[in-house]
Amino acid sequence: MEFEVVLAARAGKPLDSLLLEALAECISRSVPLRILFQRASIVGEKEEHQPGGLLQTISLNFPRAAAIAGGKDEVLAEWLEDHLHRVVEAHQAKKALLANRLKAGALAPLQSPGKAAGQDIPFHLEQFVCGVGVWGLAEMTRLHLGESPAKSDAALKWLLKLMARIKLRMNELGDRHGLRLRFVSNRSRQVVDRLSQSLLEAGFDCDSQSCESLIDLDAEDSSTWVSEGKVHSFFPSGHAVLGLEALNRKDKTFIQEAIQMAAAETHLGGLTWVDEFCRCRQCSAVSGEIGAVCSVCGCEQMVLVDRQGQGMVNRITRL
Ligand SMILES: [Zn+2]
| pLDDT at 126 (0 to 100) | 77
The domain segmentation of the chain, as residue ranges, is 40-107+121-236
> To which H or E segment does residue 257 belong?
helix 252-265
| pLDDT at 48 (0 to 100) | 56
Write down the pTM of the prediction. 0.85
**Ligand 1 center from residue 287 Cα (angstroms):** 10
**Ligand 1 center from residue 31 Cα (angstroms):** 16
**Ligand 1 center from residue 26 Cα (angstroms):** 18
Residues in CB range of 130: below 8 A, 6 or more apart = 55, 56, 58, 91, 95, 174, 179, 180, 181, 182
**Ligand 1 center from residue 300 Cα (angstroms):** 8
**Ligand 1 center from residue 318 Cα (angstroms):** 14
Q: Which residues is 115 bridged to in the sheet?
A: none
**Ligand 1 center from residue 43 Cα (angstroms):** 47
Q: φ and ψ at 125, to 5 degrees?
A: -55, -40
Vertex 110, ends 108 and 115: CA angle to 5°?
70
| pLDDT at 207 (0 to 100) | 65
DSSP code for 126: G
| pLDDT at 118 (0 to 100) | 57
| pLDDT at 50 (0 to 100) | 53
**Ligand 1 center from residue 302 Cα (angstroms):** 8
**Ligand 1 center from residue 305 Cα (angstroms):** 15
| pLDDT at 197 (0 to 100) | 81
pLDDT tens, per residue, the chain with 319 residues: 578 898 888 777 888 999 999 999 999 988 889 999 888 777 766 655 554 578 889 999 999 999 999 999 999 999 999 999 999 999 999 999 988 888 887 777 777 777 666 566 666 777 788 999 998 899 899 999 999 898 899 999 999 999 999 999 999 999 999 999 999 887 777 777 888 887 877 777 766 666 678 887 876 777 788 899 999 989 887 778 888 888 988 999 999 999 999 998 888 989 999 888 899 999 988 887 888 999 999 999 999 999 888 888 888 999 8
| pLDDT at 52 (0 to 100) | 52
**Ligand 1 center from residue 301 Cα (angstroms):** 7
**Ligand 1 center from residue 297 Cα (angstroms):** 4
Strand order in the sheet with 33-38: 3-8, 33-38, 270-274, 242-245
